[in-house]
Amino acid sequence: MTNALEAAQLAKNYNNHIALHPLELQIPPGQIFCLLGQNGAGKTTTINLFLGFIEPSSGQALINGVNVAKNTDITRQAVAYIPEVVHLYGNLTGVENLDFFNRLAGFRFSPKELKAFLLKAGLQEEAHEKKLGGYSKGMRQKVGIAIALAKNASVILMDEPTSGLDPKATLEFNAICRELSDQGKTILMATHDIFNATSLGHRIGIMRDGHLKHIVDASGITAEGLQQLYFESIG
């Protein structure tokens, strides 16, 4: 089976600074992989390489077996990106934002279909026609998920998507991530939340100074165990 995400000796330098040492990583379809690590550990660099936002210094980032750097147009179609803050238009409604971003990506949906995506992403109906300016961070993240759903992305890359969300919003976000995973979508998520990583992730990686120091199965470790491993790893 082709991995949804694969890093093959994937590395990134900025001048003399090594942001990512040669990384080997395989993530099969449907898996939720959480990346932990201190600020500057290389999590965002890894995600940006898979997004094709930056070019590797050596090695390859592959999505569904396709080399991102050489086929960015193809791989971007397979991928959705949810950053820490999903940038949307405050003076447009949830439905209008979703419609706008779909059109940018070359898709058109009826208002009924747009609302169905928002509902599936967990955004309650009464919010659909309200302006984004009044949305909470959790509601904005849900519009981000709706954009990913409408795009039918097989891979979703997330950079600290739950940072700043309250516990209830985080739980709701997790539930949607699990549903996506059950549907065979693959999630790579950078996070600082050790406890959430153990409850949501199937596997968890711990990065330090551009190295992936550990990969653990969430089923084989408690949150306390992961916390201990994390602090040992970062030294």
Q: List interacting residues with ligand ATP (CB under 6 A).
A: 14, 17, 19, 37, 39-45, 190
Distance separating alpha carbons of residues 55 and 58, to the nearest angstrom:
9
Among residues 58, 47, 80, which one has the least CA distance to residue 156?
Answer: 80
Number of Cβ atoms within 10 Å of the Cβ of 175: 12
Which residue, 79 or 150, has its beta carbon nearer to ligand ATP?
79
| Residue 19 C-beta: closest distance to ligand ATP, Å | 3
Distance separating alpha carbons of residues 235 and 230, to the nearest angstrom:
9
Which residue, 116 or 234, has its beta carbon nearer to ligand ATP?
234
| Residue 98 C-beta: closest distance to ligand ATP, Å | 27
Which residue, 35 or 123, has its beta carbon nearer to ligand ATP?
35
**Is 63 within 8 Å of 16 (Cβ atoms)?**
no
Distance separating alpha carbons of residues 168 and 161, to the nearest angstrom:
14
| Residue 160 C-beta: closest distance to ligand ATP, Å | 7
Distance separating alpha carbons of residues 58 and 71, to the nearest angstrom:
16
Which residue, 42 or 122, has its beta carbon nearer to ligand ATP?
42
| Residue 223 C-beta: closest distance to ligand ATP, Å | 19
